[in-house]
Amino acid sequence: MTRRLTITMVAVVAGALVVAGLGSLLLIRAQTRRDTQRDLRRQAQGIAQLVDEVPARNTAAAAVFRQRVLQRVLKLTDEEVIRYNASGQPLDPLPKGVSASDLDFPKLQQGETVSGVNGALAFAAAPGTTARGVPFALVLTRNVRVGAGAALWLLVAGGGALLVAGAVAANLGRRLTKPLRDAEEATRRIAAGDLATRVPTTGDDDELAALSRSINAMAESL
């Protein structure tokens, strides 16, 4: 009985930990996705604004300077510039994991920054124009990290909680079943002819105390 009580209590604690842990991980995942998406939007807007601020005079020197700025930006951020035409069709290959519908070119044409998450990939695209006036989308992508450190911490904390729950449950189970074990031993000895055997009693008024008094009364009447 002690073992069953211990297993039951540990199972209840484990179930509660699983529910709480999964809920926490889902909340962490959602918050991480939102934070990553917000950071990408801010970075994309800043880089696109930097490119737009480069002089766009229709001269060879200005075009070369603007191209160098774009190359430097792309080299530093490891991202891509996607040009598109007036009908919203991309002219350059899209980043892996991002589709044309994700970029929502009509919104980009209106000067809006678009962003989203596809599975574990977050993306953001900010609008800009090339030196020749061709619209482009500066697309940033990043893999969403789902809080591995938090998951490890929850796992360690859950394991510790299960160990404590197991120890407490075992001790509580022994304390709860001790009166039953005493009563069982006493009835066995009485049945064997030891009529002087008595079950230890307490001043409690519960079912176990009533059982002990009943066994003692039976032994006295024999």
The Cα 166–Cα 178 span in angstroms is 18
- 119, 146, 173 — which closes off a domain? 146
Specify whether 60 is located in the same domain as 129.
Answer: yes
Q: Residues 171, 75: one domain? A: no
**Average pLDDT for residues 102-112, to the nearest whole number?**
88
- Quick one: three-class SS letters along 83-129? EECCCCCECCCCCCCCCHHHHCHHHHHCCCCEEEEECCEEEEEEEEE
Residue where the block lists tokens 């031993």: 185
> Domain span at residue 185?
149-221
The total number of structural domains that make up the chain:
2
pLDDT (tens digit, 9 = 90+) per residue, 8-38? 878 888 888 888 878 877 887 888 888 888 8
Q: 179 and 71 in one domain?
A: no
The last residue of one of the domains, among 146, 173, 206, is 146
Distance CA 176, CA 198 (A): 19
Is there a single domain that holds both residue 116 and residue 55?
Answer: yes
Q: What is the DSSP letter of 199?
A: -
Q: Is the pLDDT of residue 147 over 50?
A: yes
Highest-confidence segment of 75-84, 110-119, 169-178, 203-212: 110-119
Q: Cβ(84)–Cβ(106) under 8 Å?
A: no
Same domain, 28 and 138: yes
CATH at 65: 3.30.450
Is residue 92 located within the same domain as residue 156?
A: no
Task: Based on the fold, state whether residues 112 and 161 are members of the same structural domain.
Answer: no
Residues 134 and 60 in one domain: yes
Q: What is the pLDDT of residue 76?
A: 47
Do 57 and 93 sit in the same domain of this protein? Answer: yes
Q: pLDDT category, 74, cuts 50, 70, 90?
A: low
What local confidence, expressed as pLDDT, does residue 2 receive?
A: 66
User: Are 57 and 116 members of one domain?
Assistant: yes
Q: Verify that 189 and 134 share a domain, yes or no.
A: no
> According to the model, what pLDDT value does residue 181 have?
78
Final residue in a domain of this structure, among 146, 174, 194: 146
- The better pLDDT of the pair 96, 193 is held by 96
Predicted pLDDT at 101: 87
100 lies in the same domain as 125:
yes
- Among 67, 30, 43, 68, CA closest to 139: 43
59 pLDDT band (50/70/90 cuts)?
A: low
